[in-house]
């Protein structure tokens, strides 16, 4: 048995990728925390595992499909655009099925996972908004753990930096113009975008958990916390794209697909949140106080 940075080699053929291990661990930890939250709320925690079962496959398909539809510019320059992926469907090294080699889009994962979970919730006549709020709390936790899969694959890094927490990237995992070891020696350090996002998501988990526990004080409706999750992640992802070197363009344009997605998601979530706040029922304490005042 040999241990490499990206995988464990057992025998001559079997490889266990750390990428996959970390992603699975992230899902299990997030689901376990969600189950504890559900139990505390008086809900059946088995629904968490049921929804996860329905969400896993659509999430993986959605994540990989997003990557195939919006591949990084570096791959497109090598001829590996969306058409190439579709034409090399059975290529198990770099093709669309090779998820173990990295290349999963978080936007596709969330959309696919939500679709699977939504079907499960509807089939079981459960409140979609309530369970989405629980999911919104633990999704950042899963993302915080899952981003470390990008570290072992030496991906999701930014422009060169002199900051002490910068990380080195092997030349084989760099994109142009950073492949040049003359201009960018092996000891060149890059912004660890995976770390920035992981830390942000960890903080987001703590904040959203606190809001969820105190949501009645904030007079939040079911589904509001999920909208907050969408908005906060849209902000950090939009900003980190300015440092990212593996940018994915909307096909045929020079428009950053991730930033476009986050802008649309943020605006839609914000508008819905404002509308829902305006239509939210008055807190009981406020209503009671108003009633007493009118009675006087």
Please name every residue paired with 244 in a beta bridge, in sequence order, or none if there are none: 158
Residue in this structure with the two tokens 């990557």, named with its chain if needed? 67
The CA-CA-CA angle for residues 48, 51, 53, to 5°, reads 110
In a domain, 214, yes or no: yes
In a domain, 146, yes or no: yes
Q: What was the pLDDT predicted at 291?
A: 43
Q: What was the pLDDT predicted at 288?
A: 42
Total domains present in the chain: 1
CB 37 within 8 A of CB 137: yes
Question: How many C-beta atoms lie closer than 10 Å to residue 134's C-beta?
Answer: 22
What one-character-per-residue DSSP string does 97-111 give? T-GGGS---HHHHHH
**Tokens of residue 201, six digits:** 């998501």
**Tokens of residue 134, six digits:** 């629980």
Q: What was the pLDDT predicted at 72?
A: 87
In a domain, 8, yes or no: no
Q: What was the pLDDT predicted at 78?
A: 82
In a domain, 291, yes or no: no
In a domain, 173, yes or no: no
In a domain, 237, yes or no: yes
Q: What was the pLDDT predicted at 290?
A: 37
For the stretch 124-139, pLDDT in tens is: 999 999 999 999 999 9
Question: How many C-beta atoms lie closer than 10 Å to residue 208's C-beta?
Answer: 22
Q: What was the pLDDT predicted at 7?
A: 55
In a domain, 171, yes or no: no
Report phi then psi at 283, rounded to 5. -55, 150
For residue 34, give the H/E element and its range.
helix 18-40
Report phi then psi at 51, rounded to 5. -65, -40
CB 89 within 8 A of CB 65: no
| Domain coverage including residue 103 | 15-157+192-284
Q: What span, in angstroms and rounded, lies between the C-alpha atoms of 22 and 6?
A: 11
Residue spans of the chain under pLDDT 50: 1-4, 11, 14, 285-296
In a domain, 293, yes or no: no
Q: Is beta strand 189-190 parallel, antiparallel or unpaired with respect to 7-10?
A: unpaired
């Amino acid at each position: 048995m040999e241990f490499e940075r990206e995988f464990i080699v057992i025998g001559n053929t079997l490889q266990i990728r750390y990428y996959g291990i970390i992603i699975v661990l992230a899902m299990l930890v997030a689901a376990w925390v969600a189950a504890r939250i559900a139990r505390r709320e008086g809900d059946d925690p088995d629904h968490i595992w049921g929804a996860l079962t329905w969400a896993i496959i659509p999430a993986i398909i959605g994540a990989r499909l997003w990557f195939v539809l919006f591949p990084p510019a570096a791959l497109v320059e090598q001829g590996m655009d969306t058409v190439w992926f579709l034409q090399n469907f059975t290529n198990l090294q770099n093709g669309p099925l090779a998820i173990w080699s990295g290349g999963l889009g978080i936007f596709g994962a969330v959309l696919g996972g939500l679709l699977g979970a939504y079907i499960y919730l509807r089939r079981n006549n459960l409140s979609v908004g309530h369970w989405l709020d629980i999911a919104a709390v633990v999704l950042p936790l899963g993302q915080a753990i899952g981003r470390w899969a990008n570290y072992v694959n030496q991906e999701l890094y930014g422009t060169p930096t002199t900051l002490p927490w910068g990380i080195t990237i092997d030349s084989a995992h760099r994109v142009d113009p950073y492949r040049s070891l003359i201009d960018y020696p092996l000891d060149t350090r890059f912004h660890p975008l995976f770390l920035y996002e992981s830390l942000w998501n960890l903080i987001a988990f703590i904040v959203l958990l606190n809001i969820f526990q105190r949501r009645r004080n904030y007079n939040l409706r079911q589904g509001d916390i999920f909208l907050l999750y969408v908005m906060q992640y849209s902000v950090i992802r939009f900003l980190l794209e300015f440092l990212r070197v593996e940018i994915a363009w909307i096909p045929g344009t020079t428009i950053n697909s991730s930033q476009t997605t986050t802008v649309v998601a943020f605006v839609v979530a914000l508008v819905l949140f404002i509308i829902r706040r305006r239509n939210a029922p008055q807190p009981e304490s406020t209503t009671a106080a108003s009633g007493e005042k009118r009675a006087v």
